[in-house]
Copies of this chain bind each other. A is one copy, B any other.
């Protein structure tokens, strides 16, 4: 049986630090505030929004939900973002994506100030992840993977890490975080030939494929640590990850559950980033 790398204790440790930082800010008259910009009534967005607002409330971080109709024009959305950029009472801005098709994702990413980009969607934040400069913020889900490894004492240095997926939200940034932790990182994707030979030889696998059973028993080995980023629904309507959990869990050394793994750390990081943004914007350390 493998070790279950649950997200809850990781989140709790992050929240504890955040709480102290919020108190420090509030004592200096700064109320850390996160704006959540949602276009339309997508179920997944509403679900995440709820979770984020609950997390922020528990940490005494203010939230400012900005809900726009699904047919809002690009110009209206950009002007709202500009308003939030200039509002010194708002420290972080989360924009739910994907956006409706009539709105340019690039234009939205370019409009947001990297200083308030607490979920790492701007070029400024992504450059910070790539160069290691610390500018902007890392995408929360990618950082969750690294926080889980750090929390459970998985030393990445010199280890082989296989990252499945190359998106800007997870695959690419998590590969940079692993590289910064001195792992030898292989980025795999849909064009990778013989994926099992890449995954079997890895010490750490980060699965961010977005498909049910993308990581099967024949692709894993003993002594591996599996970080499962997937959120999928199986045939019976149950939420499952990218790994075939019942088949892979008995083989590997440690694995994150879904739900209860990577996903349960993200809102804590969103809150922590908002506090960090408030600190930076007010020169309070």
Which bucket holds chain A's interface residue count? 20 to 34
CA distance A217 to B128 in the complex (A): 37
Question: Given that A124-B127, A127-B124, A133-B123 are contacting pairs, would A182 and B172 also be in contact in the complex, using a CB cutoff of 8 Å?
Answer: no
Residues of B within 8 A of A159 (CB): 193
**Are B123 and A127 in contact, CB atoms less than 8 angstroms apart?**
yes
State how many copies of this chain the complex holds. 2
Q: Does A135 belong to the interface (CB within 8 Å)?
A: yes
Instruction: From known contacts A158-B192, A187-B184, A191-B182, infer whether A172 and B130 are also in contact, taking CB-CB under 8 Å.
Output: yes
Q: Does A221 contact B (CB under 8 A)?
A: no
**How far does the alpha carbon of A168 sit from the alpha carbon of B179 in the complex, in Å?**
13
CB distance A186 to B189 under 8 Å?
no
Asked whether, in the complex, the Cβ of B131 is within 8 Å of the Cβ of A168, the reply is yes
Contact A184 to B179, CB < 8 A, known contacts A127-B124, A131-B168: no
Chain A interface, DSSP helix/strand/loop, else mixed: mixed
A211 within 8 Å of B (CB atoms): no
A56 close to chain B: CB less than 8 A: no
Chain A residues 116 to 157 lying within 8 A of chain B, measured CB to CB, are 123-124, 126-131, 133, 135, 157
Nearest-CB distance from A189 to chain B (Å)? 7
Does A235 make an interface contact (CB < 8 A)?
no
Query: Contacts A123-B133, A158-B191, A193-B158 known; A185 to B182 CB distance under 8 Å?
Result: no
Residue A188 interfacial (CB < 8 Å): yes
**A198 contacts the other chain (CB 8 A):** yes
A106 at the interface (CB under 8 A from B): yes
- Tell whether, in the assembled complex, residue A133 and residue B158 are in contact, meaning their CB atoms are under 8 Å apart: no
Most chain B CB within a 10 A radius of its CB, from A131, A158, A166, A198: A131
Residues of A168-192 at the interface with B, using a CB-CB cut-off of 8 Å, are 168, 172, 175, 179, 182, 184-189, 191-192
11 contacts between A and B (CB under 8 A): A123-B133, A124-B127, A126-B131, A127-B127, A127-B130, A129-B130, A131-B168, A182-B189, A184-B189, A184-B193, A186-B187
Starting from the known contacts A106-B133, A123-B128, A184-B198, 4 additional A-B residue pairs (CB-CB under 8 Å) come to: A123-B131, A158-B193, A184-B186, A184-B193
